[in-house]
Amino acid sequence: APRDEPIRFNRARRKVYVYRFRHNGLKPFSRSAWGARAEVYDWDNLHAEACSIYGAMGSGGLIETVTLAVLEPGTYKVIDRFHFAHELQQGEMYWAMAQLFMQQGPQALPLFPRPPRDWNNEKIRFNLARR
């Protein structure tokens, strides 16, 4: 499965790119049955949804997630949903940052004391397992 950023926001085109990983256990060596597929949605058709579900867990069972729903233009009919964040507070923060970025640009985002990890600039020359 993808490990870093499966959702990309394009402010200039007002599009959102969602990378969905597909796999087929029956065809483990097929190139067409595995890989990431990009789906493109309009920013104006996205809405955030908070969900609380009770599941069988040892710590109480409440699972809270934030999903993004893609609506048909001009209606409230949901076309597609995809996962956005695991916790409500984290999802609220990420959604506010996405809205701020799409409205005002990257200069409006807060400065992070520790920036997110960039997998492309990782020092892997000494670790044989990650080469």
d(CA 80, CA 68): 8
Domain map (residue ranges) of the chain: 7-105
Q: How far apart are alpha carbons 109 and 130 in whole angstroms?
A: 32
| Residue 74, phi-psi category: left (phi > 0), alpha (psi -120 to 50), beta (remainder) | left
The residues that bridge with 7 in the sheet, in sequence order, are 18
Mean pLDDT of the chain: 84
d(CA 30, CA 97): 38
pLDDT score recorded for residue 122: 65
* pLDDT of amino acid 41: 95
Give the residue from 9, 4, 2, 17 showing the smallest Cα distance to 118. Answer: 4
Measured CA to CA, the distance from residue 94 to residue 111 in angstroms comes to 14
* Mean pLDDT along residues 53-68: 81
Per-residue pLDDT tens over the stretch 3-39 = 556 789 999 999 999 988 887 888 888 878 887 788 9
The 10s digit of each residue's pLDDT in 67-85 is: 999 999 989 999 999 989 8
